[in-house]
Amino acid sequence: MHYIKTFIVALLLALLGGCAFWGSGHRAQQNGSVVDYLYPNAKQAPMLQAGVTQLRPPVRVGIAFVPGAGWGGALSEQQKTQLLERVKASFAKHAYIGSIEIIPSAYMQARGGFDNLDQVARMFNVEVVTLLSYDQVQFNDTNVLSMLYWTIVGAYVIQGNQYDIQTMLDASVFDVKSRKLLFRAPGTSRVAGNATMAGLSAKSRAAQSDGYNQAVDQLIPHLQTELDNFRERLKGDSSIQIRNKEGYQGGGAADWGLLALAGLLAALVYGKRRRAG
Amino acid sequence: MANVAALAKRVPTQRAPTQRVPTMRGPTMRAPASTLLALAALALVYAPAALGDALAYDRLAILSGQLWRLWSGHLVHFSAQHGITDAVALFLIGAVLEPLIGTRRLCLALSWGAALIALALLLGLPEMAHYRGLSGLDVMMAVMALCALWQQRIFPRYWIAVLATLLVLKTGCEALGIALGGTSLPAGITVMWQAHALGAACGILEALCRAQRLRKRAELVEPLLHEQRDVVAFDRLSVPQTARQASV
């Protein structure tokens, strides 16, 4: 009888220990690097191509997520499109930006390089591509409450698991023809929470999605700021020229300045005539 | 003496440019040509779109022989606001300029100025496919008005200099892409500062030609006037002698 008791206690301890072992911390990472995508076989730093980048507003822009290893678990194509739509909305309000195309992930070839970028740009008829690279790291740990998982019911009601998801998004805007990085803007987020053992998977998946959303929230104002800085930089940067698009429409318009000047001139002469007459 | 008198008759008597006094009597500022032009532009704003398309500056159409577009392109506009703004500016500037230089001279200047601006755009901006708007001519007329006011000394010259500086600054800001206020152009249409610069150049060219012509006339008339004065003086001297001879 004594041996049976000892066996049962040992079995329970082993099961408890097994739970603790099963629930011990682990790390998962999903990333898509713009460098890996554009320079897949680079053994040395890419050479900068000298030359003048010509931008012809209204510029046609494409937006895409960089394809990468480990992608697919966190965000569905639909969610990715929703995120890209939000980035698109932040670009769309500028007059010098024409059409904005969202490029689905299926068109982006992993480690495709500039050749793939050229193909995609031709396919979607865009001149500038915004590549969203990402890096999301998820840490899963257990807390002291996980001790109660051995009750079986505890695995469903006790939040003994912790997750910590850190996300970094980076929008790099490239001129496809000159292959020049025009500007970039980052967005980061951190989402942490607790979950039951049974609900960890679903909850952490939602948190991953939330992490991307929050990173985009931070990315958009940064992107606006960088866009404004880029416009300022254009005034002094001789390597980037703004040219008119082939076949553009021009208008000779008298603005308020000319109208005011004309009014002033007419008023002066009218006054003089009145005094003379 | 008869020859001199005939010659003096043939050459119209002309005051030197600085002495010329324009018709400054009464508050009326009649400008028939400018008013007609502004009204035509306004009417074309509300004309059928097909008519506007047939008159607009269209690079390919001009190159295929539709040369009237070099002139008519200035009269059509992209929107009602665009047309009204340009027409009002033209009317105001015309009301100043036309009484100063005359309707004939204004029409002559606008006829070659419009074609020259459009031709320069055709040659200098091959990427521009379409163009509409009066503002090139507005600027040309504004420059002509400032030059005429400068020559005729109607106002202190520093006023004219200030206005000219403002015009140059405005065009410079447009060239540098510095927005000075709302544009009347619809979205997607580029403001052609080049047309304004060309208009200013045409205005200066016209004023220079006019000044040159006046100088030549003055040079031609001056010796004749001297000669006429000499003849009159000789007549005055010779008349008593003739009278004396008659009495003798």
pTM of the model: 0.57
Q: Above 60 in pLDDT, residue B242?
A: no
- The CA distance from A211 to A192, in Å, is 9
Give the CATH number of the domain where residue B146 resides.
Answer: 1.20.1540.10
Domain assignment of residue B162, yes or no? yes
* 3-state secondary structure (DSSP) of residue B15: coil
Give the strand pairing for A26-32 and A128-142: antiparallel
CB contact under 8 Å between B131 and A269, yes or no, is: no
Residues of chain A with pLDDT under 70: 1, 12-25, 44-49, 69-74, 244-247, 277
Give the chain B residue whose CA is nearest to the CA of A263.
B92
Q: Is the pLDDT of residue B56 over 70?
A: yes
Residue B83 lies in a domain: yes
Q: How many domains does chain B have?
A: 1
The residues, any chain, with a CB within 8 Å of residue B3's CB and separated by 6 or more, are none
Q: Residue A274's closest chain B neighbor by CA?
A: B27
Which residue among A255, A261, A272 places its CB closest to the CB of B24? A272
Determine which of A249, A256, A264, A270 to mutate to test the interface with B (most B C-beta atoms within 10 Å). A249
DSSP letter assigned to residue B155: S
User: Does B7 reside within a domain?
Assistant: no
Give CA separation, B77 vs A59, B57, B64, B67, B83, in Å. 25, 10, 22, 18, 5
The answer to whether residue B135 is domain-embedded is yes
Q: What residue in A sits closest to B125 (Cα-Cα)?
A: A244
B34 located within any domain: yes
Please report the pLDDT score of residue B14 as a whole number: 44
How many CB atoms lie under 10 A from the CB of residue A89? 11
Q: What is the pLDDT of residues A62-73, one digit of tens each?
A: 999 998 765 455
- Residue A277 has a pLDDT of 65
ipTM over 0.85: no
Angle between helices A256-276 and B135-152 (to 10 degrees): 40
| Contact with chain B for residue A123, Cβ under 8 A | no
Task: Establish if B12 belongs to a structural domain.
Answer: no
Q: How many residues does the structure list for chain A?
A: 277
B29/A266 touch (CB, cutoff 8 Å), yes or no: yes
Asked if residue B62 belongs to a domain, the reply is yes
Q: Tell if the CB–CB gap between B96 and A269 is shorter than 8 Å.
A: yes
Query: Which of A245, A253, A263 is opposite residue B86, by nearest beta carbon?
Result: A253
For residue B214, pLDDT over 80 is answered with yes
pLDDT at A215: 93
Q: Measuring CA to CA, which residue among A172, A177, A205, A202 is closest to residue A187? A: A172
- The whole domain housing B37 covers 27-217
- The answer as to whether B19 is a domain residue is no
- Mutation pick from B144, B174, B190, B191 vs chain A, by most beta carbons of A within 10 Å, is B190
Q: What is the pLDDT of residue A128?
A: 92
pLDDT digits (tens, 9 = 90+) for B173-196: 888 777 666 677 777 777 888 899
